Amino acid sequence: MSKILIADDASFMRLMISQILARQGLTNILEAENGRQAIEQFKSNQPDLTIMDITMPELDGLAALAEILRIEPLAKVIICSAVANENIVSEALRRGAVEFVAKPFRPDAFLRTILKHLKT
């Protein structure tokens, strides 16, 4: 079963994403509320996919992305953020995110994106 890490400082967003995944039978979910926790969860659990916000306390999502990719260069990280201007999106992708999803998102489109990256 696929392991998915959700890193977002908003507990309601972690819950919403978990519920979207659960409806598809994806229930092996790990959570982190900041970038440092995301890195620790990644090191300990080696998730198949990480979904990460950019704006988080302690360590932002772009810095956590860099560290995760240093640990595992083939890690799949989807950045999911309300900060979605063109510069931020291109920077996240340039730094190695496999996808950028802007909040708010449509649950069905978001789920398709996740499933696409779990299959590859």
Its pTM stands at 0.95
Angle at 72 between CA 102 and CA 50, to 5 degrees: 30
The one-letter amino acid at 83? V
The one-letter amino acid at 82? A
Q: How many angstroms separate the CA atoms of 8 and 60, rounded?
A: 10
**Domain coverage including residue 18:** 4-119
The tally of domains found in the chain comes to 1
Model pLDDT, residue 118: 94
Give percent above pLDDT 90 in the chain.
Answer: 95
What's the CATH number where 84 sits? 3.40.50.2300
Give percent above pLDDT 70 in the chain.
Answer: 99
Model pLDDT, residue 31: 98
Q: What is the pLDDT of residues 16-65, one digit of tens each?
A: 999 999 999 999 999 999 999 999 999 999 999 999 999 999 999 999 99
